[in-house]
Amino acid sequence: MLGTFQSIFKIEELRKRIFYTLGLLIVYRIGGHIPTPGIDASVLQSFFAGSQNTLVSMWDMFAGGAFQKATIFAMGIMPYISASIIIQLLGAVVPYIQKLQKEGEEGRRKITQYTRYGTVLIASLQAWGTATYLMSIQNADGISAVILDKWTFVPLTVLTFTCGTIFIMWLGEQITERGIGNGISLIIFIGIIARFPQAVVEETQAIFAGTRSIFVEVIMIAMMLLVIAAVIVVTRGQRRIPVQYPKKIVGRRVYGGQTTHLPLSVNSAGVIPIIFAQSIMFAPATVAQLFPTVEWMNNLVGYWLQPGGLFYSIIYGLIIIFFAYFYTALTFNPIDLADNMRKNGGFIPGIRPGKRTAEYIEKILTRITLPGAFFFACIAILPWVLIARFNVNYFFGGTGLLIVVGVALDTLQQIESHLLMRHYDGFMKKGRIRGRSN
């Protein structure tokens, strides 16, 4: 393993990509500590002191701790993710978007541009709602968290938060293009990881204060390790479909005639369904902030959509399963795969090439996606029961662990690919880290 890390820094391109990624992530973390003008940080801190394991803490987790501090990056990357969801959903019903998705690089650029426009719109709306919400915050002494008047604070905050989200979006795109790993996922990843030292300190203080027993803490750590192991196993799980290619005689040489396999991942969508589901679950809270006087909306967010509740858990789980199928269908086309196999003379034993092969692959993909999606939905939901029972820090929740483990595996897989491409040993000598798209 030590030799592998040494090999990473021997490859100039890979070394530059890693340092570039680390540099931009440091910039992101620095921006997460720059306060928004017009905010009394002490009042805000006292107000959010008791908001652990709530919808606010979930939102704050995806913003890397910037939401509860009301920094310039308080909106985080969620508006961009919401815009991406909307564009992808429109691609299933709007012919123009469908056409762009099939136009290759040029179509991808236009879709990216539309996603950026949507990000600005959504970020502006969320910033307006958040500014209104911040103005309503007071501490126990009745002191407001906002020290500016409404007509100065709201426009300034909307501009600040929106620009912060646009800058984060740019950072993510630059990491994806010039760095290593998926930029958007890494930004969420580093925001969650940044909470780890604070979570350890809080748990340690709870043990010494006598509010948490060592026995319960050991159980929670053991469960966290089991979740990590289970996520790795399921993420790397594959269903291999045998594929045969006939021999070809060209001149005096014989080509082909090999038997290989088509690897179908149990979790082709990765952590994307969880991130998308979280974005959807944040939508009602955003609307409630925009219309704080609407009683039924506040009741919906405060009671029915309270994390850990039965209704919230059911909706959250169903959305995860839905996006697992949706994103898999979006990124994996059995018809194109079957056509490519037929053009190269490949076939699945016992299955006729063409349409029957596509139907067979789609049938298997549908079957193996369900247990993977159900597993991730359970991992994301069940920790809320433990949180409600033992009042554990939210860092140890399933959603955070799923994202951290999934993004880490994806990034390691990209580094592994760079190493193997240049004939270096990867992280695993007896088995390779397989990407989800394989």
pLDDT tens for the chain, 438 residues long, are: 556 666 777 778 888 888 999 999 999 999 888 888 888 878 887 777 655 555 666 677 777 777 788 889 988 888 898 888 888 878 778 888 888 877 777 888 898 899 999 999 999 988 988 888 888 887 777 788 888 888 889 999 999 999 999 999 999 999 999 888 888 889 988 888 887 787 778 778 878 887 777 887 787 778 778 878 888 888 788 888 888 877 666 666 665 566 778 888 887 777 778 877 877 777 777 677 666 666 777 777 666 776 667 777 888 889 889 888 888 887 777 888 888 888 777 788 888 888 888 888 888 988 888 888 888 888 877 766 666 555 555 555 567 777 788 888 888 888 877 777 766 555 555 555 544 444
Tell me whether residue 110 is in a domain.
yes
Please indicate, yes or no, whether residues 72 and 159 belong to a single structural domain of this protein. Answer: yes
Using an 8 Å Cβ cutoff, are 287 and 335 in contact?
Answer: no
Tell me whether residue 155 is in a domain.
yes
Please indicate, yes or no, whether residues 244 and 335 belong to a single structural domain of this protein. Answer: yes
**238-244 and 259-265 beta bridge pairing:** antiparallel
Q: What is the CA radius of gyration of the chain?
A: 24
Domain that holds residue 65: 9-194
Tell me whether residue 37 is in a domain.
yes
Tell me whether residue 199 is in a domain.
no
Q: Which CATH number do you get for residue 360?
A: 1.10.3370.10
| Amino acid in position 323 | F
pLDDT the model gives residue 436: 45
**Token pair belonging to 361:** 């692959």
d(CA 257, CA 264): 22
Please indicate, yes or no, whether residues 161 and 276 belong to a single structural domain of this protein. Answer: no
Please indicate, yes or no, whether residues 152 and 279 belong to a single structural domain of this protein. Answer: no
Please indicate, yes or no, whether residues 154 and 263 belong to a single structural domain of this protein. Answer: no
Please indicate, yes or no, whether residues 316 and 347 belong to a single structural domain of this protein. Answer: yes
Please indicate, yes or no, whether residues 254 and 357 belong to a single structural domain of this protein. Answer: yes
**Token pair belonging to 181:** 């790993």
**Token pair belonging to 237:** 């799980």
Query: Which positions ≥6 away from 279 have C-beta within 8 Å?
Result: 78, 81, 82, 85
What is the pTM for the complete model shown? Answer: 0.77
Q: End of a domain among 170, 194, 218?
A: 194
Number of domains in the chain: 2
The DSSP call for residue 36 is: P
Tell me whether residue 181 is in a domain.
yes
Tell me whether residue 119 is in a domain.
yes
Tell me whether residue 2 is in a domain.
no
Please indicate, yes or no, whether residues 147 and 220 belong to a single structural domain of this protein. Answer: no
Please indicate, yes or no, whether residues 183 and 221 belong to a single structural domain of this protein. Answer: no
Please indicate, yes or no, whether residues 150 and 271 belong to a single structural domain of this protein. Answer: no
Please indicate, yes or no, whether residues 167 and 31 belong to a single structural domain of this protein. Answer: yes
**HSE-up of residue 424 (Cα within 13 Å, Cβ side):** 20
Please indicate, yes or no, whether residues 148 and 256 belong to a single structural domain of this protein. Answer: no
For tokens 């082709």, name the residue.
268
